Amino acid sequence: MADPPEIFGMHENSNISLQRAESDAVTNTALSIQPRDSGKSGGKSPDEFVREVVEKIQEQLPLVLTMQEAHASTFMKDKNGLMESLATFLGQEMSRFNKLLRTMDRSLSDTIKAIKGIIVMSPELDAMYQAILNNQIPPNWMKVGYPSLKPLGSWVSDLLKRVTFIRDWLTQGKPIAYWLASFFFP
C-alpha cells in the first residue's frame, strides 16, 4: 500500500516526519471544526475565554530589555575598544527577545480591542484568536519567535524563564553557567 522511503533515496526515518505531518493535519482539522459554545449553557463564551487568556499573558509579560539595565561589566570594552563576543551575542539575543515582546504586547492589546469591537478583527488577529482558543502559539508570534512545539501555556512559561535568564545576564554580568536552550539560536 505504501512505498518505503528507500525507493526515493530517503532515509527510513522520513516516515516519522510524514506521519507527524499527517497527524498534525488531522488534529488541526478536528480543532477547526469543533463546535464553539455560545456561553448560553453557563460556560464561558469564546470571547470571554480568549480575553481571559490574553489578560493573563499581558499581566505576566516582562518589559523589554534595555541597555540602561546593564551591569557595568556586561558590555565592557577591552583596551582596543572591542567588546567580547559573548556581549555581542547578548545584544543580539536582547534584540530578538525585544522584537518578540513588542509583537506580543501590541497584538495582545489589539486582540482585546477587537473583542470589544473598538478595532476591526484583521486576519492576523483572527488567526491569533483561533490559536489562543486552541491553546496554540499564534502565528504572528511564531514569525518573530524561537522554534517550539509547546502548547501556548507552556510556551509562555518557557518564554518568561528565557527572558529572566537573559535579564539576569544583562543586569548581573556574565553567568557562571549558560542555559543554552534559552537562546534563539543555541
Asked if pLDDT for residue 41 goes beyond 60, the answer is: no
**C-alpha 22 chain-centroid distance:** 23
Higher per-residue pLDDT: 63 or 33: 63
77, β-bridge pairs = 83
- pLDDT over 90, % of the chain: 59
The whole-number pLDDT of residue 40 equals: 56
Higher per-residue pLDDT: 81 or 122: 122
Is 3 inside a domain boundary?
no
What domain count does the chain have? 1
**Distances in whole angstroms, Cα of residue 16 to Cα of each of 10, 24, 31:** 12, 12, 22
Is 11 inside a domain boundary?
no
Q: What are phi and psi of 80, to 5 degrees?
A: -90, 0
The enclosing domain of 96 has a CATH number of 1.20.1270.280
pLDDT band at 150 (very low <50, low <70, confident <90, very high): very high
The whole-number pLDDT of residue 57 equals: 96
CA dist 144 and 96 (Å) reads: 8
Amino acid at 32: S
Is 28 inside a domain boundary?
no
